[in-house]
Amino acid sequence: MKKFARIASLIMALAMVLTCFVGCTADKEGGATPGEDGLVELKLGCIGPLTGDYANYGTSVQNGVNLAIEEINAAGGVNGFKLTIDFQDSQGDPDSATAAYGKLMDDGMKISLGTVLSGEMTAVSAAAIADEILLLSPSASAKDAITGNDSAFRVCFNDPQQGTVSADYIADNKLATKVAVFYQSDLDYSNGLYENFKAQCAKRGIEIVETTTFTKSTNTDFSTQINAIKASGAELVFIPIYAAEASTFLTQAYGKLTDIPLFGCDGLDGILTKVSDTKYAENVMMLTPFSADDTTENVKKFVDSYKKNFNATPDQFAADGYDAVYAVVEALKKAEITPDNFEDDDFNSKMVAAMTQITVKGVTGTMTWTADGETNKAAKAMIIHDGVASLYTSEK
């Protein structure tokens, strides 16, 4: 019996060793063990609204990210890595986004594509400081969304840039000398754009003849604002708001502001999916670094592939997500990150340093980044005619 007990104890000990070995291997979160394709998984994460009023933004970013990852992996991966993505639904809520970020970190995320919306990014960026993980948001545009986190970057223009460039674009293309503004006063995105637009208008000789606002609790009836704009003598209306609210405004303004062009920024992307009839968006313009009708080779390839995979035309948010992944790829190459060193303590510092050294020829333009996380690239404008958004030219 004693001999049998010793044998049983030995078997149990061996079983515990094997269990520990298997558990430790799993706990390495992919480790440096290649899969059947010879590549090691490198986990990326992203957070954004996939449900709720702003789901169109999150869905577009998710589609763009997935398309880029599919292309990269199909081409053999990068530096011995196969990229994977875990996209968490925030429902547009900063608290939910922070919780999702924590889950992604627990699940082994090595690089974060941050969040889709600015409010989410502000919360997540603050929470991520202690983790020292690279954050590269495709579309969080509020200036403060990445402030204070030296590891945070963005693909899109920030709000001050958009407001300033919008005023410059209007002046340079002689679109108007008298403008009205309609914006959401309790939304950081809208406020940031308005303040910088106003400052640049003063420098460029553009007169703001009427300023009207609304809040989240007053976003259903815009008749008072529309009447004020109509009576102001404005030659153009600047609307730095999101597509959901813009669709209501455009519907109510139809037939009243028909002869006055409306000009917005990236928040208007997706407006054609929000209005009940595309006639409501006729002649609406928006500042953007991306246009689906751009004939540049890499843009055309992206658009064709997106249409094939998702049966839809990509908007700027899809393009931002796509470019974010390719920026990560270039940073991995520049930092010379491989399966042999990607778990080193200096992984993040290498990636952050690489972000300020790379140049990415993306579908939203040729991009570089500064140490404060901001991108440099050219801006364009689109105009909607007959339900189609295309690049604006002075001849149109």
Q: What is the 3-state secondary structure (H, E, C) of 276-336?
A: CCHHHHCCCEEEECCCCCCCCHHHHHHHHHHHHHHCCCCCHHHHHHHHHHHHHHHHHHHHC
**Whose CA is closest to 155, among 392, 366, 391, 380?**
366
Please tell me the predicted confidence (pLDDT) of residue 10.
44
Please tell me the predicted confidence (pLDDT) of residue 32.
65
Domains 40-157+296-378 and 160-288 share a fold: yes
| CB of 306 closer than 8 Å to CB of 312 | yes
| CB of 193 closer than 8 Å to CB of 265 | yes
| CB of 149 closer than 8 Å to CB of 135 | yes
Indicate whether 97 pLDDT > 80. yes
Indicate whether 396 pLDDT > 70. no
For residue 219, count CB atoms less than 10 angstroms from its CB and return exposed for 0-12, middle for 13-18, buried for 19 or more. Answer: middle
Residue that wins the pLDDT comparison between 54 and 21? 54
Show me where the domains of the chain are located: 40-157+296-378, 160-288
The full length of the chain comes to 396
Distance CA 13, CA 21 (A): 12
Residue 213 — very low, low, confident or very high, per pLDDT cuts 50/70/90?
A: very high
Superfamily of domain 160-288 in CATH is Response regulator (3.40.50.2300)
| CB of 299 closer than 8 Å to CB of 43 | no
Residue that wins the pLDDT comparison between 232 and 342? 232
CATH architecture of 40-157+296-378: 3-Layer(aba) Sandwich (3.40)
Please tell me the predicted confidence (pLDDT) of residue 189.
86
Residue that wins the pLDDT comparison between 7 and 365? 365
Cβ neighbours around 231 below 10 Å, total: 11
Residue 21 — very low, low, confident or very high, per pLDDT cuts 50/70/90?
A: very low
**Whose CA is closest to 191, among 262, 119, 261?**
119
